[in-house]
C-alpha cells in the first residue's frame, strides 16, 4: 500500500512504478483524474491521471469501486498509452465506481468561480460534485454503461435537475440531453470491455499468493475526514480506505509505505505552516520543477514539516517511508526542518493540532540541519544520510527508499 504523506505530489507515481515491477496487480481505490502521476522510464515521460501507474509495467490495473471515473479522460489516456505501445487490456474498472459526468466538471468550475477568494483551488475535474452525487444516491455508475436504456434514463433524470442548477444558480449554459446521451452511448461501447468485478479479481489474486499493490492518490492532509478540511479532496485518501475502496478486508493490507518529499509542496488554497518566504521559495520550486501535472499550476513550497508527517504516519499506519526529491535540497547550505508547532497560547507541540484554528495559527519551530551541497548520485553523502536519519529518529519510522532524481533508477534503497 502506497500513500501520499503530505498534500500530494510527493512522487508516488515513481515509487509505485518501482514497486509495480515486482507486483502482479496495481489498484487505485479512490479519487479520479485529479491525480497526476509523472513517470519517467528510459527518457520517456508518461503523465497519467486516471489509470493506475502499473500500466507502465504491463501489470493488471484495477480501478476500484471507491474511484470516480471520467470516461472521456480514461479513454483518451488508454488511447494515448496504446499509441505508445502499452497494453490497455490489463485495465479493469469496477462497475460500482461512479462516473464523472460533464455537469460535475461544469459545477466544479462554476462553484469555484463563485467562491472567489474562498475557493478551495480544486483541480476542476468534477471530483467533488461526482462524490456528492454518489453520497446523495443519484450518481451514475460505471455499470450503468452496460445497458443503454438505463444509461439514457439516468442521464435524463440527472440533467433535469442539473440544468436548473447550472442555469439558475451558476448562470452557465445547460447541457443538451440528446448530445450528451449520444456521446456517452459512444463511450459506453468503448468502456464495456474494461468493466468487471474488481473486488473478486483482487481477492483471487491474494488467495493465489500474488502481490497486490495499492496506489493511493492525493494524500493524508487532503483526506476528506482527517485532512485540512475544507481544503481537501472529496474522498478518503488514507490507507484504511484501500480495503474499502477495492472491496477486500482491512486485514489483507500488510505494509503501508508513506511517500513524502524531503520538503513539502501544496497546490490550491489552505493553511501551510512551513511555506517558504522569499528567494528560497522560488529556488525550491525551480529546482524541484514544482508545477502541477494535471493543472500546470505553480505549487507552493515549504520546508519539511515533521509535525504534519508524524500525523500522516499515525492516520495511515505507515510502516516505512519513501523520502523523495532529496536532490532538490542539495542546493542549500542549511536546511530548516520543522520539529514542533508553537500554538496561539504559546504552548509547543509535536502533534498535529486537532482544532483547525490552532493549525491555521501554528508557527513552525525549525531545527537547522547541515546541507551536503553536492549532487546525489550513488551512495548518499554523510550529511544527506544525517538528514534522513533525523527524519527516522524523529518519527520512529524507517526510511526505506530515498529519491534522488526524476528517472526510475534514481532511487536509493536504504533497506
Ligand atoms: P479536487 O480533488 O479537485 O476536488 O481538489 C481538492 C484539493 O485537493 C485541491 O486543493 C487540489 O489542489 C488538491 N488535489 C487534488 N488532487 C491532487 C493531487 O493529485 N496532487 C496535489 N493536490 C491535489
**pLDDT tens readout for residues 112-148:** 999 998 899 999 999 999 999 999 999 999 999 999 9
101-119: average pLDDT: 95
66/236 Cα distance (integer angstroms): 9
| Model pLDDT, residue 38 | 81
Residue 136: how many other CB atoms lie within 10 Å: 8
- Ligand 1, atom 1: nearest CA belongs to which residue? 122
Give the contacts of 217 (CB within 8 A, at least 6 positions apart): 4, 12, 28, 30, 31, 34, 35, 237
Ligand 1 centre and the CA of 232: distance in Å? 7
Neighbours of 339 (CB within 10 A): 18
Which one from 17, 24, 37, 104 is the annotated catalytic residue?
Answer: 37
Radius of gyration of the chain (CA): 21
Check if 218 has its Cβ closer than 6 Å to any atom of ligand 1: yes
pLDDT given at position 90: 97
- pLDDT band at 171, cuts 50/70/90? very high
Long-range contacts of 281-287 (CB under 8 A, 24+ apart): 283/331, 284/328, 287/328, 287/331
Q: Report whether 24 contacts 52 (CB < 8 A).
A: no
Indicate if 211 belongs to the active site. no
Does residue 122's CB lie within 6 angstroms of at least one atom of ligand 1?
yes
- Ligand 1 nearest-atom number relative to CA 34: 16
pLDDT-derived band at 43, boundaries 50, 70, 90? confident
| Candidate of 268, 269, 298 to mutate for ligand 1, largest count of ligand atoms within 8 Å of Cβ | 268
Query: What percentage of the chain reaches a pLDDT higher than 70?
Result: 100
Average of pLDDT values for 322-335? 97
Q: 174: pLDDT confidence band, cut at 50, 70 and 90?
A: very high
Per annotation, catalytic residue among 9, 17, 70, 327: 9
* CB 196 within 8 Å of CB 95: yes
Ligand 1 touching residue 30 (CB < 6 A) = no
Alpha carbon distances (Å) from 343 to 306, 338, 362, 365: 15, 14, 5, 10
Cell 460534485 belongs to which residue?
A: 129
Q: What phi, psi does 296 have (nearest 5°)?
A: 75, 5
Identify the residue whose C-alpha is closest to ligand 1 atom 5.
Answer: 122
37 is catalytic: yes
Query: Does ligand 1 come within 6 angstroms of the Cβ of 268?
Result: yes
Average pLDDT over residues 194-200: 98
Nearest CA to ligand 1 atom 9: 122
Its pTM surpasses 0.75: yes
Per-residue pLDDT reduced to its tens digit, 7-24? 999 999 889 989 999 999
pLDDT band per the 50, 70, 90 thresholds, residue 235: very high
Name which residue sits closest to atom 10 of ligand 1, judged by CA.
268
| Nearest residue (CA) to ligand 1, atom 15 | 34
| 368 pLDDT above the threshold of 80 | yes
Give the distance (Å) from ligand 1 centre to CA of residue 118.
15
User: What pLDDT, on the 0 to 100 scale, is given for residue 354?
Assistant: 95
Is the Cβ atom of 371 under 6 angstroms away from ligand 1?
no
- If you average pLDDT over residues 308-335, what whole number do you get? 98
User: 125 in ligand 1 pocket by Cβ < 6 Å?
Assistant: yes
Amino acid at each position: 500500500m502506497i500513500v501520499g504523506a503530505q498534500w500530494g505530489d510527493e512522487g508516488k507515481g515513481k515509487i509505485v512504478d518501482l514497486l509495480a515491477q515486482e507486483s502482479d496487480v496495481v489498484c487505485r481505490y479512490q479519487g479520479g483524474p485529479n491525480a497526476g502521476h509523472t513517470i519517467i522510464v528510459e527518457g520517456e515521460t508518461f503523465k497519467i491521471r486516471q489509470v493506475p501507474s502499473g500500466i507502465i509495467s504491463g501489470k493488471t490495473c484495477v480501478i476500484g469501486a471507491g474511484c470516480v471515473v471520467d470516461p472521456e479522460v480514461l479513454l483518451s489516456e488508454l488511447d494515448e498509452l496504446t499509441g505508445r505501445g502499452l497494453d490497455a487490456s490489463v485495465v479493469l474498472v469496477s462497475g460500482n465506481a461512479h462516473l464523472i459526468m460533464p455537469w460535475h466538471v461544469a459545477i466544479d468550475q462554476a462553484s469555484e468561480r463563485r467562491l472567489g477568494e474562498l475557493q478551495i483551488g480544486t483541480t476542476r475535474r468534477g471530483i467533488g460534485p461526482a462524490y456528492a452525487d454518489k453520497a446523495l444516491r443519484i450518481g451514475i455508475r460505471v455499470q450503468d454503461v452496460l445497458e443503454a436504456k438505463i444509461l439514457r434514463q439516468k442521464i435524463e433524470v440527472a440533467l433535469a435537475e442539473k440544468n436548473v442548477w447550472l442555469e439558475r444558480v451558476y448562470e452557465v449554459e445547460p447541457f443538451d440531453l440528446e448530445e450528451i446521451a449520444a456521446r456517452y452511448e459512444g463511450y459506453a461501447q468503448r468502456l464495456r470491455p474494461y468493466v468487471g468485478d474488481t473486488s473478486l479479481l483482487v481477492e483471487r489474486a491474494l488467495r493465489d499468493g500474488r502481490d497486490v499493490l495499492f496506489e493511493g492518490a492525493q494524500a493524508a492532509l487532503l483526506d476528506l475526514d482527517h485532512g485540512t478540511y475544507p481544503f481537501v479532496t472529496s474522498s478518503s485518501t488514507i490507507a484504511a480506505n484501500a480495503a474499502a475502496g477495492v472491496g477486500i478486508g482491512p486485514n489483507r493490507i500488510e505494509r503501508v509505505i508513506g511517500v513524502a518529499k524531503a520538503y513539502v509542496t501544496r497546490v490550491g488554497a489552505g493553511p501551510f505552516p512551513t511555506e517558504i518566504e522569499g528567494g528560497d521559495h522560488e529556488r525550491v520550486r525551480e529546482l524541484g520543477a514544482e508545477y502541477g501535472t494535471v493543472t500546470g499550476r505553480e505549487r507552493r513550497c515549504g520546508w519539511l514539516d515533521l509535525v504534519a508527517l508524524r500525523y500522516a504516519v499515525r492516520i495511515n499506519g505507515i510502516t516505512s517511508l519513501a523520502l523523495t526529491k532529496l536532490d532538490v535540497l542539495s542546493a542549500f547550505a542549511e536546511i530548516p526542518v520543522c520539529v514542533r508547532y508553537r500554538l496561539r497560547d504559546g504552548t509547543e507541540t509535536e502533534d498535529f493540532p486537532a482544532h483547525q484554528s490552532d493549525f491555521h495559527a501554528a508557527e513552525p519551530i525549525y531545527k537547522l540541519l547541515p546541507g551536503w551541497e553536492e549532487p546525489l548520485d550513488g551512495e548518499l553523502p554523510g550529511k544527506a544520510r544525517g538528514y534522513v536519519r533525523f527524519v527516522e529518529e524523529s518519527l520512529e519510522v524507517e526510511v526505506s527508499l530515498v529519491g534522488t532524481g526524476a528517472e526510475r533508477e534514481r532511487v536509493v534503497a536504504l533497506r
